[in-house]
Structure 1
Amino acid sequence: MTQIQPTVTPKLENPKFGFNQYAERLNGRAAMIGFVAALIVEFVTGQGVLTWLGLL
């Protein structure tokens, strides 16, 4: 059985630092998860997140 070799080498971009689409998308998703987690904590405990953490 013969293996087929790729005819074109994929062109990969150099890693970027700072503001870029991937970082913004990742930050947005993390913020959504954190917000939903805060809502769940408030719903389950009946207290706000700051009170639950002992800051108020």
Structure 2
Amino acid sequence: MENQERNTWSWGFSTGAENWNGRLAMIGFVAALATELIAGQGVLHFWGIL
């Protein structure tokens, strides 16, 4: 039951919210690395910001 409580969606600073924040941050970091490897340039250059 404890694992189910950690994965449920709830607002505010809760264990479930922190777990989702970490998971999405890891996905974003891997996506940024993949973009740099495939495009051969940084993410900001890829998007035309720099």
Q: Same fold (TM over 0.5)?
A: yes
Measured in 1, the distance between the counterparts of 2:28 and 2:46 equals 15
Q: 1:16 to 1:41 in 2, by over 3 A?
A: closer
Q: In 2, distance between residues paired with 1:38 and 1:47?
A: 10
Distance 1:42 1:16 in 2: 34
Q: Which runs of 4+ in 1 moved over 2 A?
A: none
Q: Any unmatched runs of 5+ in structure 2?
A: 1-8
Higher relative contact order (CA 8 A, sep 6+): 2
Residue 50 (structure 1) aligns with: 44
What is the correspondence of 1:1-56 to structure 2 with a 5 Å cutoff?
16-56=10-50
Confirm or deny: 8 A CA contact 2:35 2:43 kept in the other structure.
Answer: yes
Q: Distance in 1 between matches of 2:30 and 2:11?
A: 28
CA 16–45 in structure 1, closer or farther in 2 if over 3 Å, else same? closer
Which of these two proteins has the greater Rg computed from alpha carbons?
1
Name the amino acid aligned to 2:12: G
